[in-house]
Amino acid sequence: MNASEQAAEAGFSAAPIARRAAALLVDLALLCAVLAPIQFLRPALSGVERPDWLSAGLLLELFVLATLSLPAYLYFALLESGSRQATFGKRWFRIQVTDFEHRPIQKLRALVRAVVKLAPLEIAHASMLLPVPIWQAGPEASARPGFMYSTLLAGAWLVTLLLTPKSQGVHDLIAGTLVVEREAVAR
């Protein structure tokens, strides 16, 4: 018997996909509200309207990784591996991340889960910034293959959620996690 079947036998209720999606939107909005000002603060503090490093694709990508991606990974990893097992969005929608025994997941497992979950977004913004920012690349920039890969990965993540017995996404399958309704754990 595999882990999903064990969870089903124990009576755990997988979180509905609509609530998971809504929780993710809340989390992404929260992250944008907190992290977007940082994206604009550093250039503003330089005293130059548009610093030269904002034109260099690799430097700009590293800046985005440090000020956007890394904080997002840590947000998901630390909150989902914490005692509440949920980000603020998941708390709002009364769902949480567990292992198959409904215990909190380890931090490394949560970090892997977060990186895999956000991979389509990561590929999209890398495609926008590398090798040069898209706004400097001209009309051929829209043909960057990373945009297609990002879209295909996001689609694969959604299909996986729809087709697995406990609505596990690729990130859940890789990390060995479930997203369940909070009431199911309290039983």
Residue 14 DSSP symbol: B
Per residue in 128-181, pLDDT (tens digit) is 888 888 877 777 766 788 888 999 999 999 999 999 988 999 999 999 999 999
Identify the domain containing residue 65 by its residue range. 3-186
Terminal C-alpha separation, the chain: 22
Residue 56 DSSP symbol: -
Kindly list the distances between the CA atom of residue 86 and the CA atoms of 21, 47, 68, 139, 140, in Å, as whole numbers in the listed order: 14, 40, 20, 42, 41
The two tokens of residue 16 are: 């509905």
Highest mean pLDDT among 19-28, 43-52, 142-151: 19-28
Q: For the chain, how many structural domains are there in total?
A: 1
Distance CA 185, CA 158 (A): 25
Beta strands 95-98 and 178-181: pairing type?
A: antiparallel
Per residue in 78-135, pLDDT (tens digit) is 999 999 999 999 999 999 999 988 889 999 999 999 999 999 999 998 988 888 888 7
pTM over 0.95: no
